[in-house]
Chain A
Amino acid sequence: MDDFLLLLLSTLDSTLRVSAPLVLCAMAGIFSERSGIIDISLEGKLLGSAFAAAAVAAVSGSAFVGLGAAIITSILMALLHGFACITHRGNQVVSGLAINILASGLTVTLGGAWFHKGGQTPTLSGDARFSPITLPGADFLSEIPILGSIYVELISGHNLLVYIAFLAVPVTWWVLYKTRFGLRLRAVGENPQAVDTAGISVTFLRYRSVIIAGILCGIAGAYLSTGQNAAFGKEMSAGQGYIALAAMIFGKWKPVPGLLACMLFGFLDAMAVRLQGVAIPGIGEIPVQFMQALPYVLTVILLAGFIGKAIAPKAIGRPYVKER
């Protein structure tokens, strides 16, 4: 029984680790898309900021300076997206794709030029990384059965950015539904003309939304290279930006369902690792590749058939032009 609990807890524990960047990116996607700007550049921002965090942390020796660099990089990429889509009314998917390609090429090129490690950044250690935080009372509470183990194994012992990621969900919800900015943001994604005729600038509102998306992606990127791992590796985002996008759509552009979707994908990923090489009675050993493919297969199945119609914000993808 105890073994089972520990196994379960450690699987859930790695679920949290794996889903943290997904959650951040999904929240970023919600901010951008609820304002009407399609954001497939989540992936590019994630990769770009992961590189910036690792590179700057390696040089400065501080994870926080790295985090700052990651956020700035990601905001710049978001502004580029905004400039193309909001100011110049370009196609949002094309612009997003361009940013993804740019990030994928530029990180390797710059990494190779600066560090001469084939696109990798130097391995980080000490203060250059976000290290696990032991929450207060962990020693004391570990004595208590079950609840204690949950606290120690599952809740305590993550790095700062994981906590930020999960805190981002209630904050996103609060901003969207409880603030003036959120009301306007949701309105501009549904009917920008209504916002314009109410005397509010559509452009400024949308820029602010994509900038927030940039900040959140920046944190996610820093987590990848200076929290979860100890260096930047080529293409290390590995499609997680897209998975987050899928999770956000799966969650119907809402923060809490989006979180649950991210955690489902994170859980599948954690399971895949856990079940590698394990023989299941009656089935036998499941091939590693199958488990690794499972989250993606499930995404397709879920998106295609099970969640029903995901109703997107009405004005999504449409540049706002004053009609005459």
Chain B
Amino acid sequence: MSVERIKAQGPDAVGGQSAPPPSIELPAIELKAISKSFGPVKANQNVDLKVLPGTIHGIIGENGAGKSTLMSILYGFYEADSGEILINGQTKKIHSSRDAISFGIGMVHQHFMLVETFTVLENVMLGAEGAPLLNKSSQTAREELLKLSKEYSLAVDPDAMTGDLPVGLQQRVEILKALYRGAEILILDEPTGVLTPQETDQLFKILDILRSRGVSIILITHKLQEIMAITDRVSVMRAGTMVSERETSATSKNELAELMVGRKVLLEVDKTDANPGEILLDAKNLSYREDGITKLDDVSLTLRAGEIVGIAGVSGNGQTELLAALSGICPLQTGSIDIGSVQITPHALKNPKEFRELSVGHVPEDRHRMGMVTAFNAQETAIMGFHEDPAYNGKILMDNKAVQEHCTRLMQDYDVRPEDPKLKSANFSGGNQQKLVLAREMDRRPEVLLVGQPTRGVDIGAIEFIHKNLIAMRDAGSAILVVSVELEEIMSLSDRILVMFEGRIVGEVAGKDADARQLGLLMGNAGTQSKSSEQQNNNNTTHSEEISA
């Protein structure tokens, strides 16, 4: 429908001009001076936004910049304190999601709003069933669903159990859900956070098709390359305000990064060549099986002093298990690990605490599940795992004062904000939580540091800081292993890159010579991906619970 409208409004509508500037078209969505506060926190202040029909409009900003709040207001999850919403030029009051849906707005949330025990069809129908009895309405819904899947090339089996589908397909169900409700405006909140690179490509293809059918899309993200890849226009938010709007073709990653953070940001990591020294960790022939599935298959690797080794791979290909084996969390089943003069074998196991004593630091992939207890306050998080250190203990009770002083110092050294050791860990932003965990592990100057997903859910400003610190630690002579699903991060940090596929190391590339295409081929083992995308499903469900205020 909106396609027709655009055509109808074509050149004639603007009179003499041959190529009308797009701003003359009536925006599909216009937000005027939206403000919203949660208690003392001003999540949105006087935010304006215009989204033109049939375009993809990116909204970029750091975590906590107010993107999600703004979209929640548009989708009726919250009501704005003040401001106006215009849809296709008409002022609308949106009190609830039901209103938003009736005005043709659909939203794909960062955490999917799907019932995992329902079939795809049931999920699509939920809330839009029509009649009180399901028999007839499910028949019409099925037909409509199949029609939509065909029209937008969104193939999915209506009778599949939703929870069994890979993440990419679940997202497809969310998109179908919105289309089924007649959405002409689609909001996607951080849609690629849980996707593999392949699934991301797939999603972008879908968005492209939707755009060509006249759907207006709002894409919320904090990833610059996505904005550059798919959007037509981009708005930048910072600290609850809209700082600027650009034509995507007329801007650059560097400019956007600077607008987001409010100062110049180095996107490239600045580092000198590595100067590898002695071998600090030598793992030989590690294999690991769990529930009959081989997770690690004869993996050998060495870490030398003064180098960063990166593990590239689609998540779920054994990286998690490798970190677990090297940090003592999974007991070895075969093979051996030499750390300094100590050898760990299946007959001479060490627990994670003993690994720490051998000077192995570990920053887990999932900080909420393994890196911290979110209900603990910052100072407790800051000593977790080292809490038996006499420095923090009196004769019987813990020495809270010492703990607090230690935490305060870490917060100063690692720029953790707010600098409040008594604040609950959950109340820090993702980047600051990560900095706190990194601080805890790095401050001990471990000889070997294992880091999983160093910057997952972390703001650009904090990413720069974390990368700089990792390089500094390398230069001070530590051996660092980095596991990350962000290929760019692996390429810019690592001196050597190992590629994992289905539990094996399938390739090694020097960091300097690395090339994304070549790595991508190794990561997919230039072959089938079905199994790994299924594992991906399990591994990624808990990640990235970013704090968005």
Q: State the A residues within 8 Å of B (CB).
A: 177-184, 186-187, 190-191, 193-200, 314, 322, 324
Q: Is the CB of B72 within 8 A of A191?
A: no
B527 at the interface (CB under 8 A from A): no
B69 in complex: contacting residue of A181, A183, A193, A324, CB < 8 Å? A324
Given that A198-B113, A314-B116 are known contacts, is A180 also in contact with B96, CB under 8 Å in the complex?
Answer: no
Q: Is the CB of B116 within 8 A of A191?
A: yes
Give Cα distance in the complex from A183 to B134, angstroms: 8
Q: Is the CB of A324 within 8 A of B114?
A: no
B204 at the interface (CB under 8 A from A): no
Given that A183-B134, A197-B97, A199-B97 are known contacts, is A190 also in contact with B127, CB under 8 Å in the complex?
Answer: no
30 A-B pairs with C-beta separation under 8 A: A179-B132, A179-B134, A180-B133, A180-B137, A181-B132, A182-B134, A183-B129, A183-B134, A186-B117, A187-B122, A190-B115, A190-B117, A190-B118, A191-B114, A193-B113, A194-B113, A194-B123, A197-B75, A197-B107, A198-B97, A198-B113, A198-B126, A199-B98, A199-B99, A199-B127, A200-B126, A314-B116, A314-B117, A322-B78, A324-B549
Q: Is the CB of A183 within 8 A of B135?
A: no
Name A196's closest neighbour in chain B (CB-CB): B97
Query: Which 6 A/B pairs are nearest by Cβ-Cβ distance?
Result: A198-B127, A199-B98, A194-B113, A180-B129, A199-B97, A190-B115
Q: Is the CB of B101 within 8 A of A199?
A: yes
Give Cα distance in the complex from A199 to B98, angstroms: 4
Name B118's closest neighbour in chain A (CB-CB): A187
A187 in complex: contacting residue of B126, B133, B134, CB < 8 Å? B126
Other A-B contacts than A198-B97, A198-B126, 18 sampled, CB-CB below 8 A, are: A177-B134, A181-B132, A183-B125, A186-B117, A186-B118, A187-B118, A187-B122, A187-B126, A190-B118, A191-B113, A191-B115, A197-B97, A198-B101, A199-B99, A199-B101, A200-B126, A314-B117, A324-B549
Q: Is the CB of B135 within 8 A of A178?
A: yes
* CB of B44, distance to nearest CB on chain A (Å): 12
Name B41's closest neighbour in chain A (CB-CB): A324
Give Cα distance in the complex from A322 to B113, angstroms: 13
* Size class of the B contact interface (CB-based, 8 Å): 35 or more
Contacts of A190 in B (CB 8 A): 115-118
Given that A190-B117, A199-B97 are known contacts, is A324 also in contact with B38, CB under 8 Å in the complex?
Answer: yes
A186 in complex: contacting residue of B100, B115, B137, CB < 8 Å? B115
* CB of A74, distance to nearest CB on chain B (Å): 25
Contacts of A187 in B (CB 8 A): 115, 118, 122, 126
Q: Is the CB of B78 within 8 A of A183?
A: no
Name A199's closest neighbour in chain B (CB-CB): B98
Q: Which of B403-424 contact A (CB under 8 A)?
A: none
Give Cα distance in the complex from A193 to B114, angstroms: 9
Q: Is the CB of B97 within 8 A of A180?
A: no
Give Cα distance in the complex from A94 to B207, angstroms: 48
Q: Is the CB of A197 within 8 A of B118?
A: no
Q: Which of B338-394 contact A (CB under 8 A)?
A: none
Give Cα distance in the complex from A177 to B127, angstroms: 15
* CB of B404, distance to nearest CB on chain A (Å): 30
Contacts of A199 in B (CB 8 A): 76, 96-101, 127
Contacts of A179 in B (CB 8 A): 132-134
Give Cα distance in the complex from A314 to B113, angstroms: 13
| Binary flags per residue of B497-529, CB closer than 8 Å to A gives 1, else 0 | 000000000000000000000000000000000
Given that A183-B122, A191-B113 are known contacts, is A197 also in contact with B77, CB under 8 Å in the complex?
Answer: yes
| Binary flags per residue of B520-548, CB closer than 8 Å to A gives 1, else 0 | 00000000000000000000000000001
* CB of A170, distance to nearest CB on chain B (Å): 15
B114 in complex: contacting residue of A180, A194, A322, CB < 8 Å? A194
Q: Which of B98-150 contact A (CB under 8 A)?
A: 98-101, 107, 109, 111, 113-118, 122-123, 125-129, 131-135, 137
Name B43's closest neighbour in chain A (CB-CB): A324
Mostly, the A contact residues are helix
Mostly, the B contact residues are loop
Give Cα distance in the complex from A195 to B122, angstroms: 12
* CB of A257, distance to nearest CB on chain B (Å): 16
Name B129's closest neighbour in chain A (CB-CB): A180
Contacts of A197 in B (CB 8 A): 75, 77, 97, 107, 109, 113
Contacts of A177 in B (CB 8 A): 134
Give Cα distance in the complex from A199 to B97, angstroms: 5
* CB of A151, distance to nearest CB on chain B (Å): 33
Give Cα distance in the complex from A314 to B162, angstroms: 14
* CB of A204, distance to nearest CB on chain B (Å): 12
Contacts of B98 in A (CB 8 A): 199-200
Contacts of A184 in B (CB 8 A): 126-127
Give Cα distance in the complex from A304 to B69, angstroms: 45
Interface hub of B69, B134, B137, B548 (most chain A Cβ within 10 A): B134
Q: Which of B437-458 contact A (CB under 8 A)?
A: none
Contacts of A180 in B (CB 8 A): 129, 131-134, 137
Name B549's closest neighbour in chain A (CB-CB): A324
Q: Is the CB of A324 within 8 A of B72?
A: yes
Contacts of B116 in A (CB 8 A): 190-191, 314
Q: Is the CB of B129 within 8 A of A194?
A: no
Name B548's closest neighbour in chain A (CB-CB): A324
Q: Is the CB of B115 within 8 A of A324?
A: no
* CB of B195, distance to nearest CB on chain A (Å): 20
* CB of A194, distance to nearest CB on chain B (Å): 4
Contacts of B111 in A (CB 8 A): 193
* CB of A193, distance to nearest CB on chain B (Å): 6
Contacts of B107 in A (CB 8 A): 197
Give Cα distance in the complex from A317 to B311, angstroms: 41
Give Cα distance in the complex from A181 to B134, angstroms: 9
Q: Is the CB of A198 within 8 A of B114?
A: no
Give Cα distance in the complex from A197 to B117, angstroms: 17
Interface hub of A187, A190, A196, A314 (most chain B Cβ within 10 A): A187
Contacts of B78 in A (CB 8 A): 322, 324
Contacts of B38 in A (CB 8 A): 324
Give Cα distance in the complex from A193 to B487, angstroms: 33
Q: Is the CB of A194 within 8 A of B126?
A: yes
* CB of B480, distance to nearest CB on chain A (Å): 36
Contacts of B123 in A (CB 8 A): 194
Give Cα distance in the complex from A309 to B129, angstroms: 32
Give Cα distance in the complex from A196 to B129, angstroms: 15
Contacts of B72 in A (CB 8 A): 324
Contacts of B77 in A (CB 8 A): 196-197, 322
Contacts of A191 in B (CB 8 A): 113-116
Give Cα distance in the complex from A194 to B127, angstroms: 9
* CB of A17, distance to nearest CB on chain B (Å): 34
* CB of A26, distance to nearest CB on chain B (Å): 20
Q: Is the CB of A178 within 8 A of B134?
A: yes
| Binary flags per residue of B45-82, CB closer than 8 Å to A gives 1, else 0 | 00000000000000000000000010010011110000
* CB of B280, distance to nearest CB on chain A (Å): 43
* CB of A88, distance to nearest CB on chain B (Å): 20
Interface hub of A177, A184, A195, A199 (most chain B Cβ within 10 A): A199
* CB of A79, distance to nearest CB on chain B (Å): 24
Contacts of B126 in A (CB 8 A): 183-184, 187, 194-195, 198, 200
* CB of B310, distance to nearest CB on chain A (Å): 34
Give Cα distance in the complex from A309 to B473, angstroms: 47
Contacts of A181 in B (CB 8 A): 132
| Binary flags per residue of B479-499, CB closer than 8 Å to A gives 1, else 0 | 000000000000000000000
Contacts of A200 in B (CB 8 A): 98, 126-127
B127 in complex: contacting residue of A178, A186, A193, A195, CB < 8 Å? A195
Interface hub of B72, B113, B122, B123 (most chain A Cβ within 10 A): B113
* CB of A190, distance to nearest CB on chain B (Å): 5
